[in-house]
Amino acid sequence: MTNIINTGKKKKLLIILYAHKINDYFLKQYEIDELSKDCEIEIHSFCNIIFKNYSISHKENLINKKFILEFQTISEWRDYIKEKKFNCKKKDVKILILNRLLLNNFLSYLIIFYVKKLEIPILEIARGEFPLFKNLKISKKKIFLNWYKTAFLQFNVFFSKLYILLISLIINKILKYFTNIRPDYLLVYGSKNLKIFKTNNVNIIKSHSFDYSRTIKLKIKKKTRKNFLVYLAFPSKYDSSSDAKFYNGVSHWTKNYFQDLSRFLKFLKKKYNLDIVIALHYKQSKFTRLPYLKKYKHYRNKTLELIKNSKLVITLQSTAMIQAMAFSKPIIMLKHQIYEKFYPSVLYLVQIICKIARIKIVDLNRDLNEQFHLKFKYKKKNYQKYLYSYCTHQNLRSVRNYQIISNLFSKLK
């Protein structure tokens, strides 16, 4: 297990493999601007090859830069990466692949297989901001029933999800035994995840979750405290074919949710004299205001700053709650019948998170009355317990993910 901190500048090329088109959030999430100061960056997008029917909802959010390369066929990419490897070796440039392709389709498998054949080192990220079911004391039967209930209620996408699951099983349970597609390095965040992903065949690199890493820079800056609460929105509708069909099928449930949320925010504004701001999800159009919440100010790409300067953070379920804990903000996690009916497994996970971090859960269908009292208090040690278990490591302190990735080149041969 390695904890990488410092190294000198060297010739470096980082290639990121990604299945979809690139938007501005992707560049911020993976700290591309910071990485590009020390490494040459290339992002290889396979949006025209893998999941062709998938597209990011709003075209104005997409990025078109010289270092983002889109390929039309696997053979085109294969010829390119082979030549790139040859040129890098000739010029003594170290090359590293950051793989963000999911092994749930055969095309992704072929891409990774070819990278391994070229002997280019691969770095992957072991996702774990939220507790994996392996971390929880819950039977496999209950996990399956939760998944089945969720999938069956989304009957219009059940078969597509089942197909992806079967392909994933074939690749990860069968093909892995006959071909070496394991990464050479694995970024792991949180002590709980270290126990799961610890293996003799992969070099484990301690890191932060990328949501947590982005908070480190802002922690240094002076806070501007204001008297407002921020609601962290989830995308009301995706543009991928399967999810679009699902949301169309439950539009009456989302309508009820926003109506109930509007009443709750109005109640908080009146009782606690708080201004309300909405932090739009990165997949949400910057021109879109949420239904029944249009009178409040909406912001896009300002989530971190809004959380940092807020008095209270409210969400139904968002990875940005990690940032709220990192900034030591009081958090309210919302519960609604939309999750009880359509996302029982997600609701179960949310309840586990709240139990570990001691976050207050408010049921929008039951808890709202005049006796409702909100305490703007939290225990930092409860947040730290969660963050150190699933999002970061105590000994990394102020080092950010882009530094960890850049410094990894010193270990390459």
Whether residues 231 and 281 share a domain: the answer is yes
CA 373/CA 356 separation, integer angstroms: 22
**Domain presence at residue 216:** no
**Domain presence at residue 3:** no
Whether residues 198 and 300 share a domain: the answer is no
Q: Which ranges of 102-250 does DSSP label H, i.e. alpha helix?
A: 106-117, 140-153, 155-169, 176-178, 191-197, 210-220, 241-249
pLDDT in the model for residue 383: 93
Whether residues 199 and 227 share a domain: the answer is no
Whether residues 192 and 301 share a domain: the answer is no
Whether residues 296 and 196 share a domain: the answer is no
Whether residues 184 and 306 share a domain: the answer is no
Whether residues 291 and 347 share a domain: the answer is yes
CA 129/CA 350 separation, integer angstroms: 12
Whether residues 241 and 377 share a domain: the answer is yes
pLDDT in the model for residue 10: 55
What is the chain's pLDDT, residue by residue, as a tens digit (413 residues)?
544 444 344 589 999 999 988 888 889 889 999 999 999 999 999 988 886 655 444 455 677 789 999 999 999 999 999 999 999 999 999 999 999 998 878 888 899 999 999 999 999 998 777 776 555 555 455 555 555 555 555 555 555 666 666 777 676 667 776 777 889 999 999 888 888 877 667 899 999 999 899 898 876 565 566 789 999 987 655 333 334 344 444 455 577 888 889 999 998 898 889 999 999 887 765 567 888 888 999 998 889 999 999 999 999 878 888 999 999 999 999 888 877 766 666 777 788 888 899 998 888 877 666 556 776 677 889 999 999 999 999 888 789 999 999 999 988 87
**Domain presence at residue 35:** yes
**Domain presence at residue 263:** yes
- What domain range is 181 assigned to? 12-209+400-411
**Domain presence at residue 231:** yes
Non-local CB neighbours of 180 within 8 Å, separated by 6+ positions? 116
Non-local CB neighbours of 140 within 8 Å, separated by 6+ positions? none
Whether residues 301 and 236 share a domain: the answer is yes
Read off the CATH number of the domain in which 49 is found.
3.40.50
CA 393/CA 356 separation, integer angstroms: 17
pLDDT in the model for residue 408: 94
pLDDT in the model for residue 171: 67
Whether residues 381 and 406 share a domain: the answer is no
At 170, is the secondary structure helix, strand, or coil? helix
pLDDT in the model for residue 62: 73
Tally of domains within the chain: 2
The dihedral over CA atoms of 152, 156, 158, 159, expressed in degrees to the nearest 10, equals 140
**Domain presence at residue 267:** yes
CA 103 to chain centre: 17
